[in-house]
Amino acid sequence: MIHRKEPPYAGTTIAVEKTWAEIERLLMDYGAEAVRRTRLKNGSTTIEFALTTDTGGVTKQFVCQITQPTITRKRRRKVNNQWGRPITTVVNEDDDAAAARLTHWYIKSLLEAAAYGLMSVEKVFMTHIKFQLGDGTTTTAGELMERSMVDGKAPTISGFDHAQPALPEKRQPAQVIEARAEQ
Note the pLDDT tens digit of each residue in 74-83.
766 677 777 7
pLDDT reported for residue 4: 77
Q: Is the pLDDT of residue 165 over 50?
A: no
pTM exceeds 0.75: no
**CB neighbour class for 31 (10 Å; exposed up to 12, middle 13-18, buried from 19):** middle
Residue 103, helix vs strand vs coil = helix
Per-residue pLDDT tens for 9-41? Answer: 777 889 999 999 999 999 999 999 999 999 988
In the chain, where the domains are located: 16-150
How far apart, in whole angstroms, are the C-alpha atoms of residue 48 and residue 62? 10
